[in-house]
Chains A and B, each alone.
Chain A
Amino acid sequence: MTLWQNYLRPKNLSEAMDAFAHAPRPLLPIAGGTDLLLDLEQGRHSPVQTLVDVTSIEEMTRLEIRDDRLFIGAAVPVNRVALDPLTVRHAEALTEACNLIAGPQVRNVATLGGNVAHALPAADGTIALLVLDVQAEVIALPREHRDDVSGASDNERSRSAVTRKIPFKDLFLGPGKSSLNHGEELIVGFYLPLTNYHQASCFQRIMRPQGVALPILNCAVWLERENDLVKDIRIAVGPGGGTPFRATQAEDTLRGASLTESTFESALEGLLAQAKFRTSARRAGADYRRHIVSGLFGETLESAWFRAGEKTTETRRH
């Protein structure tokens, strides 16, 4: 079985869009390919004519500060995301999540773009990005150019490709369902706000050592601390629904409050009321997830809280 015929390696977005416009279809973009190639090999995805490898697209492999935002290219390997000083400083939760994705060999090629494009509601990278107030940059082929026979030059085509920024959560329609049309649209990268000294984040998860390779539960918390008050907070838990779940009720409870056992308990109540925990065969029962989320949420929240506190102390010292 030939899983792919042509393998294209565009060097820039313009070449990528050109490939999208003209290469034989069916066509798919491939980044690390650590999920996609297995899907092809194991018959979960039908064979394609063309794979467009995006890992040589310069724009997509950058990790840098742009104005007041941190840009992480969608094709940056997760290992680099995990270890880069910029992410370590500005996106602790994301580095923690990336450190937990598979093993080192896979992390050296797997990408955040791929992690997100699969649209799993509990992917580690996704849950971390969800609390980091991320915007995704997406480039799309204009519909009329898909079967371009006008003989327009590459430059004309690249000009006609449209780039837009969308809120991170808008990338998800349902379990395994991305809002993007793969082969016509492409995630270029992610923009994250920079973290101030009194802000911090944390990611943790609970696994099961047997069976399928997915976490039972993961959790990310970002918060801003003002002395003993939670000034602002974002909480994500996966899988807490068909799309990546933000515990907004718990956030509302904690925002502006001090962090005590009783505020934590009411936040937890809010989280449990809002989250839709399901029973997944051979992974976890819904009641088990409800039971253990208190500890996981507590530990994650506590870590973020202490981190933000330590940073505040550091700031004062300076």
Chain B
Amino acid sequence: MTNKISLVVNSIQHSLEAKPNETLSDLLRDRLRLTGTKIGCDEAECGACTVLVDGEPVLACIYPAERADGKTVVTIEGLGEEFTAKHAKNAKENKKNLSDLSGLGGSIALHPLQQAFVEHGAVQCGFCIPGQIMTAYALLERNPNPTRDEVRFALKDTLCRCAGYPTIENSILAAAESLRTGEPVRKPNVPDSIHVHNSVGHTHLRPDGIEKVNGKAIYTDDLVFDNMLFAKVKRAMIPHGFLKRLDISKAKELKGVLAVLTANDIPAERNHGLIIYDWPVMVGVGERVRYVGDAIALVAAETLEIAIQASALIEAEFDLQPVITNPVMARQEGVPQIHEKGNLLKHIKVRKGDMEKGFAESDVILEHTFHTPTYDHAFIEPECSIAVPEVTVTSEVTVTSKMNIYCSTQIPYQDRTQVARVMGWDESRVRVVGQLMGGGFGGKEDVMGQIHAAMLADVTKRPVKLLFDRHESLLVHPKRHATQIRIKIGAKKDGRIMASESELYGDTGAYASLGEKVMTRATTHSAGPYDVPNVRADCYAMYTNNPPAGAFRGFGVTQSAFAVESMIDMLAEKLNIEPVELRRINALHVGSITNTGQELRESVGLMECIDRVSSAMCQVSGLSEGELFKPRVIYETDSYREGAKDTKTLVEEGEKESSRSSRLSGEKDSHLVRAWGFAAAYKNTGLGGGAPDISNAEVELYDNGTFEVRSSSAEMGQGLVTVMRLTVAEEMSVPPEQVKVLVMDTDLTPNGGPTTASRQTFVTGNASRYAAKTLRDAITATLAEKYDVKPEQIRFENGIVHANGHSMTYAEVAKEMKALGQHPRALYEYEAPKTQPLGTGGDMHFAFSFGVQAAEVEVNKLTGEVRVLKVISANDVGMAVNPLGLQGQVEGGVMMGLGNAITEEFLMDNGYVVSDRLARYRIPGIMLTPEITSIIVEHPTAAGPYGAKGVGEICSIPTTPAITNAIYNAVGVRVDKLPVDQESIAREIWEREEK
């Protein structure tokens, strides 16, 4: 009883046989190869798969394909064509408007929405963008002139983890205006750097922007290879125990199954890991399972369905062990030891000055303990690896001569090393080809499916795709460490902090990942960005039976900043000093010595951040400094709740409308209270701690006069490719469009090191810059010799090289050099200034970024509900190389910080994962986006490219304490456990009032 599905997709009629079990997204992606429709969650939560069916936006992942019979479907791929066909006479005009987008992809038909998304910087990793644009398109078709609120309502459940919500909103409004008026899409208003050069410091568009808005962008899961198999990993699904019995016989017998592998099939090294190799590739019989995500078997089959079925047929029995659920428990005596060396991964110590003296000199001493939960990165693109073997056949054996691994990764060379170790191969036999990444945020540093896919591909000699679904992604990959942080702080009456003592417990879960480094950063930053003479910090990074914890934007500092910045506000209250003033008194400045004994010699923009956020608060709110941190009662004139149809109008006390005197609540106070909160932070740029911090980049001049810059560093949406392009354009004096960028390929790009620690603008920016300089010097030397002039007489201007009256294009230069037997190509290995290990004094880091944020919240005293209304974020980034990309980082950082404070919590129950679906892990949507004001502070650092230092993390760190401090200022409830729990707030208020 097979049915036919007849449907029109992007103006093309299709007639297809119906298949059992098929959704519209399967049909579009697998059968029509329209891979612009993305699968982020496959559970109707994220909105990335939005397409239009008969003009209405629907989620293709949950739309049965057969229901589309007789209907008309528009996907992201059809949008530009649709628009051009509809507005044929405007099309030319439209193309003309795109002149400054040209060079990015030739002649392209783009809908104004697509154009606006690129120009306004709404595109970062790009994975959610098709869903955003399709949802917005449906809105504009229905409502050509939407308000901001209407835009938000329409995009309510279309999630973006880069969280460019403000720019998404602006893009949609700009496109709507363009559509109404026929005028070109209005440009965004993004200020240039104050240290602007020719290319760097100006707004330029992303090199990958257009393909990310027209559906052509290829992410790993979009790739298809001939004869490709599908893999499924059988996971232990118990938090702690020994694997007693494993029976794969039924799975092996299933038709369509090509391979079932167990720990016995691991060719060489049995463990993987980033620094410490403690993570088993698979757990074998008799071995210990340490968390639910441990792999016990691998399946490769002709289809994913068969692979899943086979995995379900694998039988496993475990000898269950008591579960270590938190790091404090892990350190107790007599508890089971999860690893051979015990449960302690690392005891980290920071020592400075004399604590006894410091507390003795203090007039006030406060002590408090804070808790932060586990968090997930929730990048919208789940992990995917495809291993494609190159096979050599001899008369005796068939061998894999090379394994190509396509994946989404932050550290391609590390993946290569780890795969090669496990396979027992030379590294040259493995090639890792990083694809476009749908977000990383630290969560794609560890190897996930790469090794497993390679093992299966080696055995089957066929390409193998291993795609995690959202469930597996949430269960398996390393998270942000849950922490317990106790801080004791002492200060003099005048506000000077004399001593800071902290004790931290970090939950690094089952395996080390980057746990030691993350918790080191949490520890060294646990006294805040302050000049404190006496510091003692002890951190216990502990193994538990929870999913591993590793890198996550903020790298430990997110947690300790919450604790210490709450503490600073508590201290301010105790000392009766304004919170801003207390921070000014203690702020790090040039000449300060950090906790780890490092003298800050330059580039400390903290005070400027404090001052500018402080005055911006007054400006934005119209309040005087004294009123900012005091509660203000707000009277609502209509329902403020989400979804209320009428526009909300709120009046503050004094402007209260008399007509509302008939409220049932009578003349009682309104429940709504607002206040501002303030927080500061700092974060190192680069690896630090004595680790050599190296990046390589290569620049090549092609015959046609264009350049290519190459490095294996990862582009995960943050905009590194734009930075590399601008840097080379700057050094070669060419328009940025003349520079192509190639990243993340271990055979074609030199090692840029890990994309972590806010380091890439600094190290790969420098590597690109110096590679370009080296190439320029080579050109200079060649031309100087040829034209017999001094090198300083060779000038590079506007894409032309001038030598003693001769003017040459770069195409001519390339020809010239080749004629002389020189290849116009330069490789540069950049090593950042040396750093020292913790505990040895000296420079632990080569640069620090500083950030200050203020948040205005509204708390409902009855229900405890919290809304974040406004956030001001100032970041000292040294120099704004790429102002549009920087804006995306800052706004996204605020949203991620807001999620950290308000919406997110990775729930676990005795080692089992409760947050195993996106529906049970809430990342902020557009409805929660506050009004964000970004202030860029630029105190250059000498070694940075044009003065730049990192920004990726600092912009996300102070958000949470700014919000929780604001909550305290509004209703007097100190949030010391994240996320903010409205029930606890309400309970504390009612219990206080009952007294």
Contacts and interface: CB of A to CB of B under 8 A. Distances in A.
Interface of A: 1-7, 9, 30, 33-34, 37-38, 41-42, 51, 53, 55, 79, 96, 99-100, 102-106, 108-109, 204-213, 259, 261, 264, 282, 284-285, 287-288, 291-292, 294-296, 298-299, 301-303
B738 to A, nearest CB: 41
10 contacts: A1-B309, A2-B305, A34-B44, A42-B917, A104-B57, A108-B56, A204-B641, A205-B641, A292-B863, A299-B639
Nearest to B308: A1
A287 B917 CA distance: 28
Interface string B631-669: 000000001011111000000000000000001111000
Contacts of B158: 103, 105
Contacts of A298: 664-665
B599 interface: no
B919 A213 contact: yes
B47 A105 contact: yes
Given A99-B643, A100-B642, A103-B157, 5 more contacts: A104-B156, A105-B57, A208-B982, A209-B928, A211-B907
Contact of A9 (B67, B156, B990): B67
B44 A106 contact: yes
A261 B664 CA distance: 6
Contacts of A7: 3, 18, 20, 64, 66-67
B69 A1 contact: no
B297 to A, nearest CB: 18
B902 interface: yes
A33 B157 contact: no
Contacts of A294: 862
A264 B641 CA distance: 22
Contact of B156 (A79, A103, A205, A285): A103
Nearest to B902: A209
Contacts of B305: 1-2
A206 B863 contact: yes
Contacts of A103: 47, 156-158
B905 A210 contact: yes
Contacts of B642: 100, 207
Contacts of A210: 902-905, 922, 979
B868 to A, nearest CB: 10
The DSSP consensus for interface residues of chain A is mixed
B12 interface: no
Contact of A4 (B20, B58, B863): B20
Contact of A259 (B43, B644, B664, B979): B664
A249 to B, nearest CB: 18
B227 interface: no
A108 B58 contact: yes
Contact of B920 (A4, A51, A212): A212
Given A105-B47, A211-B905, A206 B865 contact: yes
Contacts of B64: 7, 30, 33, 37, 51, 53
A115 to B, nearest CB: 14
Contacts of B66: 7, 9, 53
B671 A99 contact: no
B21 A2 contact: yes
Nearest to A302: B664
Contact of A105 (B157, B309, B643, B990): B157
A1 B232 CA distance: 13
B135 interface: yes
A291 B919 CA distance: 27
A299 B982 CA distance: 19
A140 B56 CA distance: 32
Contact of B59 (A55, A105, A288, A303): A105
Given A53-B66, A211-B907, A295-B671, A204 B639 contact: yes
Interface of B: 1, 3, 18, 20-21, 23, 42-44, 47, 50, 56-59, 62-64, 66-67, 69, 135, 153-154, 156-158, 305, 308-309, 312, 471, 639, 641-645, 663-666, 671, 860, 862-863, 865, 902-905, 907, 914, 917, 919-920, 922, 928, 979, 982-983, 986-987, 990
A105 B134 CA distance: 10
A205 B50 CA distance: 27
A34 B57 contact: no
Nearest to B1: A6
A252 to B, nearest CB: 18
A209 B642 CA distance: 12
Contacts of B312: 1
Contact of A42 (B43, B153, B865, B983): B43
Q: Give the 10 A-B CB pairs with smallest separation, nearest first.
A: A103-B157, A7-B66, A209-B903, A295-B862, A100-B643, A108-B56, A103-B156, A288-B983, A292-B863, A5-B20
A264 B663 CA distance: 11
A294 B57 CA distance: 38
B664 A284 contact: no
A208 B922 CA distance: 10
Contact of A33 (B62, B664, B919): B62
A96 B643 contact: yes
A301 B863 CA distance: 17
Given A1-B305, A1-B309, A2-B305, A106 B59 contact: yes
Contacts of A4: 20-21
Contacts of B44: 34, 38, 102, 105-106
A287 B864 CA distance: 13
A288 B986 contact: yes
Contacts of B21: 2-5
B441 to A, nearest CB: 19
Nearest to A303: B639
Contacts of A2: 20-21, 305
Contacts of B69: 9
B366 to A, nearest CB: 29
Contact of A264 (B156, B664, B983): B664
Contacts of A302: 663-664
Contacts of A204: 639, 641
B26 to A, nearest CB: 12
Contacts of B986: 288, 291-292
Contacts of A207: 642
A287 B156 CA distance: 31
Nearest to B312: A1
Q: Which of B309, B641, B664, B986 has the most CB of A within 10 A?
A: B664
Contacts of A42: 43, 471, 917
A285 B983 contact: yes
Contacts of A285: 983
B705 to A, nearest CB: 47
B914 A282 contact: yes
A315 to B, nearest CB: 20
B971 to A, nearest CB: 15
B135 A104 contact: yes
B666 A261 contact: yes
Nearest to A298: B664
Contacts of B919: 212-213
Nearest to B469: A41
A124 B14 CA distance: 39
A292 B305 CA distance: 47
A261 B44 CA distance: 44
B157 A104 contact: yes
B58 A109 contact: yes
B22 to A, nearest CB: 9
Contacts of B18: 7
Nearest to A263: B664
Q: Which of A34, A208, A209 has the most CB of B within 10 A?
A: A209
Contact of B863 (A30, A282, A295): A295
Contacts of B902: 209-210
Q: Which of A207, A210, A282, A287 has the most CB of B within 10 A?
A: A210
Nearest to B867: A209
A35 B920 CA distance: 15
A208 B905 CA distance: 12
Contact of B157 (A96, A102, A296): A102
Nearest to A53: B67
